[in-house]
Structure 1
Amino acid sequence: MARNRKGRDISGWLVVDKPAGITSNALVNKVKWAFDAKKAGHAGTLDPEATGVLAVALGEATKTVPFVTDALKAYLFTVRFGQATNTDDAEGEVIAESDARPTDEDIREALAQFTGEIMQVPPQFSAVKIDGQRAYKLAREGEEMELAARPLWVESLSLAERPDADTAVLEMVCGKGGYVRSVARDLGAALGCHGHVVRLRRVWSGPFVASEGVGMERIEDLAKSPEIDNLLIPMEVALDCLPEVRASDEGAARLRNGNPGLVIAQDIEYGEECWASHQGRPVAVGIYRAGELHPSRVFNL
C-alpha cells in the first residue's frame, strides 16, 4: 500500500530571490517545510553561489513546471578574464592563465558567435549524466570526460558593463538547458585570454522576476504561520504562455476525469495547446479539437 505523504494540499508558485551559498534543492526543501506542503519542485537549478529567481512550485503547480522551464530566462553575470578554472567559476582551481585582456570592442565582436542557435559543451562540473552518473561526481574523482555539445537558443548576449580590464558584466537571454559558466569559458577561449564566472544572477525566468521575489529571511519568519500562504502566486501564472479556454460544467467534470471536455474558445486553432479554466480555477492543459479540450495534464484542485 502506498504511504500517504505528510503535509498540506496547497498549490501555487513561490518566487524566491535565492541567496548565494545554498543549493537549489536545499532551498526547495526549506520552502516545502515552511509551507508544510506535501509536494514541491523548482523550475530550473541555480548553482549554489548564484543568486536570483528560483521559482518553487507547490502541490498541483508542479504540473506546470515544464512551461516555466521551457520559457526564456535572463542572466546577469560577471566574467573574470585571464584565468580558466576546472569548474568554470570562481569556486574551482585555476588551470590556465594569460596576461592578455580584451578591449570592449573585442568582447562585442566575439559575443556575436554566441547568439542564435549554438552548440554548447556543459562544464565538467555539471549535473549532466555520464553512464548513469553525474558529471560533477566523476570530476571530483579526478576523471576527465568528453561531454557532448548540446543545442542552446541564445536570444541575446550583450556587454552590460566593463568595471575594469579584468572583468566584464554580460547580460544573456536564453532558452532552457544553458550553462552560463560554459559561455564564460568559451568566450575566454575565443578571445584568447581564458575566462570564468565570478558572479551570476538570474534576473527573470518566464513570468517570474527576481525583483519581485521573496527573501529567505521572510520565508523563515513566516514559516508554519497562516500568513505565509499570502506569498503564493496562483499556479495559472505559469500558463501565461498558453491561450485560455473556458470549460462548461459538464466539460470540467469530464476533464477532471481525464476525458475530452467541452470548452468555449475564441481564436483558438484546431490542434493548438491551451489550458481550460472553470469558475476561475485551472482544470487542465491539453489540445483543442473541434470544441473540446483533450487533456494532457489535469489539475486536482
Structure 2
Amino acid sequence: MARKRKGRDISGWLVVDKPAGPTSTAVVNKVRWALDAKKAGHAGTLDPEATGVLAVALGEATKTVPFITDALKAYEFTVRLGIATNTDDAEGEVIATSDMRPDDAAIKEALNQFIGDIEQVPPQFSAVKIDGERAYKRAREGEEMALAARPLYVESLLLVDRPDADHVTLEMVCGKGGYVRAIARDLGRALGCLGHVRDLRRIWSGPFEASDGLTLDRIEALARTPELDAHLLPLEAGLADLPEVRATPEGATRLRNGNPGMVIAQDVEYGEECWASFEGQAVAVGRFKAGELHPSRVFNL
C-alpha cells in the first residue's frame, strides 16, 4: 500500500521572489514545509543562480501548473560581453575570449534575429535528456554533445541598459522552453564578441509578478502561521489566461464527477479550452462544446 503523505490539504498559489543560490526544488520544499502542505509543485524552473518569480502551486492548484508553464514570461538579464563559458553563465569555466566590443546600434540590430519564432540550441549544461540521461551530467564528464534545436517564441527582446563596454542589460518576453543562457551565447556569437549571462531575474510569469513575491526569509519567518496562509492566492489565479464559463447547479455536479456538464458561456468558441466556475469556485477545465464543458481536469475543493 502506498504511503500516505503527511500535511494539510491546502490549495492555492504562493509567489516566491527566489534568491540566488537554492534550486527551484529546494524552494518548493521550503514552501511545502512552511505551509505544512501535503502537495506542492512549481511552474517553471529557474537556474540556482537566477532570481525572481517562482510560482509555487499547492494541492489542487498543481493541476493548473501547465497553464502557467505555457504562459508568457519576462526576464531581465545582463550579458557579459567578450567571454564565453562552458555553461553560458558566470558559474562556468572560460573557454574563449574576445577584445571586440560592439556599439549599442550593432547590439540593437543583432537583437532583431532573436524575435518571433526562432530555433534555439539548449546549453550543454541543461536538463535536456540525451538517451535518457541529463545533458548536464554528460557535460560534467567533459562530453560535448550535438543538441537538437528547439522552437521558442520571443515576443520582445530589448536593450534596456549599457552600464559599460563589457556589459549589456536586456529584457525579454518569451514563451515556454526558452534558455536565456542560450540567448546570451548566441547574441555574443552573432556580434562576433562572445558572451554569457552574468545575472538573470524573472520579473513576471503569466499573472504572477516578482514585486508581489515573498522572500524565502519572510516565508521562514511566517512559517506555520495564519499570516503566511493569508498570502496564498486562490487556485483560480492559475487560470487567468483561460476564459471562464459558469456551470449550472446540475452541470457543476456532473463536472465534479468527471462528466460533461451544462455551462453558461459568453464569447467562447466551440472547442475552446476554458474553465468552469460554480458559486465563484473553480470546478473543472475542459473544452466547450454545444453548451457543455467536457472536462480534462476536475478540481476537488
TM-score, structure 1 normalization: 0.99
After TM superposition, give the deviation of residue 119 of structure 1 in Å.
0.4
SS of 1:267's equivalent in the other structure is coil
1:175 has 2:175 as partner: yes
The residue that corresponds to 1:157 in the other structure is 157
Task: State how far apart, in whole Å, the 2-side matches of 1:291 and 1:190 are.
Answer: 52
SS of 2:230's equivalent in the other structure is helix
The residue that corresponds to 2:130 in the other structure is 130
Task: State how far apart, in whole Å, the 2-side matches of 1:123 and 1:60 are.
Answer: 34
The residue that corresponds to 2:191 in the other structure is 191
1:20 has 2:15 as partner: no
Amino acid at match of 2:222: L
Amino acid at match of 2:166: D
After TM superposition, give the deviation of residue 3 of structure 1 in Å.
2.1
Query: Is 53-62 or 247-256 further displaced after alignment?
Result: 247-256
The residue that corresponds to 1:218 in the other structure is 218
1:47 has 2:40 as partner: no
- Runs of 4+, deviation exceeding 2 Å: none
SS of 2:10's equivalent in the other structure is coil
In the TM superposition, what whole-angstrom CA distance separates every residue of 1:79-99 from its partner, at most 9, and x where no partner exists?
Answer: 000100000000000000010
The residue that corresponds to 2:63 in the other structure is 63
SS of 1:183's equivalent in the other structure is helix
After TM superposition, give the deviation of residue 118 of structure 1 in Å.
0.5
The residue that corresponds to 2:228 in the other structure is 228
Task: State how far apart, in whole Å, the 1-side matches of 2:262 and 2:83 are.
Answer: 60
Task: State how far apart, in whole Å, the 1-side matches of 2:290 and 2:188 are.
Answer: 53
Amino acid at match of 1:245: V
- Equivalent residue runs for 1:261-300 within 5 Å: 261-300=261-300
Amino acid at match of 1:286: G
SS of 1:231's equivalent in the other structure is coil
Task: State how far apart, in whole Å, the 2-side matches of 1:209 and 1:251 are.
Answer: 34
The residue that corresponds to 1:240 in the other structure is 240
Amino acid at match of 2:194: H
Task: State how far apart, in whole Å, the 1-side matches of 2:13 and 2:168 are.
Answer: 34
Task: State how far apart, in whole Å, the 1-side matches of 2:112 and 2:244 are.
Answer: 37
Task: State how far apart, in whole Å, the 2-side matches of 1:163 and 1:268 are.
Answer: 47
Task: State how far apart, in whole Å, the 2-side matches of 1:68 and 1:264 are.
Answer: 25
After TM superposition, give the deviation of residue 142 of structure 1 in Å.
1.1
Query: Is 175-184 or 224-233 further displaced after alignment?
Result: 224-233
Task: State how far apart, in whole Å, the 2-side matches of 1:40 and 1:187 are.
Answer: 36
After TM superposition, give the deviation of residue 250 of structure 1 in Å.
1.3
After TM superposition, give the deviation of residue 240 of structure 1 in Å.
1.2
Amino acid at match of 2:83: Q
The residue that corresponds to 1:139 in the other structure is 139
The residue that corresponds to 2:11 in the other structure is 11
Task: State how far apart, in whole Å, the 1-side matches of 2:226 and 2:233 are.
Answer: 15
After TM superposition, give the deviation of residue 226 of structure 1 in Å.
2.2
Task: State how far apart, in whole Å, the 2-side matches of 1:198 and 1:142 are.
Answer: 23
Task: State how far apart, in whole Å, the 1-side matches of 2:227 and 2:161 are.
Answer: 40
After TM superposition, give the deviation of residue 5 of structure 1 in Å.
1.3
Amino acid at match of 2:14: L
Amino acid at match of 1:203: I
Task: State how far apart, in whole Å, the 1-side matches of 2:151 and 2:210 are.
Answer: 26
Identity between Structure 1 and Structure 2 (%):
78
Task: State how far apart, in whole Å, the 2-side matches of 1:26 and 1:205 are.
Answer: 19
Task: State how far apart, in whole Å, the 2-side matches of 1:287 and 1:212 are.
Answer: 32
Superposition RMSD in Å: 0.7
Task: State how far apart, in whole Å, the 2-side matches of 1:97 and 1:267 are.
Answer: 55
The residue that corresponds to 2:121 in the other structure is 121
After TM superposition, give the deviation of residue 227 of structure 1 in Å.
2.0
After TM superposition, give the deviation of residue 176 of structure 1 in Å.
0.2
SS of 1:266's equivalent in the other structure is coil
After TM superposition, give the deviation of residue 38 of structure 1 in Å.
0.8
Task: State how far apart, in whole Å, the 1-side matches of 2:73 and 2:289 are.
Answer: 31
1:208 has 2:199 as partner: no
In the TM superposition, what whole-angstrom CA distance separates every residue of 1:182-228 from its partner, at most 9, and x where no partner exists?
Answer: 00000000011100000100010000000111111110011112221
After TM superposition, give the deviation of residue 19 of structure 1 in Å.
0.4
Task: State how far apart, in whole Å, the 2-side matches of 1:169 and 1:260 are.
Answer: 49
- Equivalent residue runs for 1:70-89 within 5 Å: 70-89=70-89
1:259 has 2:259 as partner: yes
Amino acid at match of 2:288: Y
After TM superposition, give the deviation of residue 277 of structure 1 in Å.
0.5
After TM superposition, give the deviation of residue 159 of structure 1 in Å.
0.5
Amino acid at match of 2:188: G
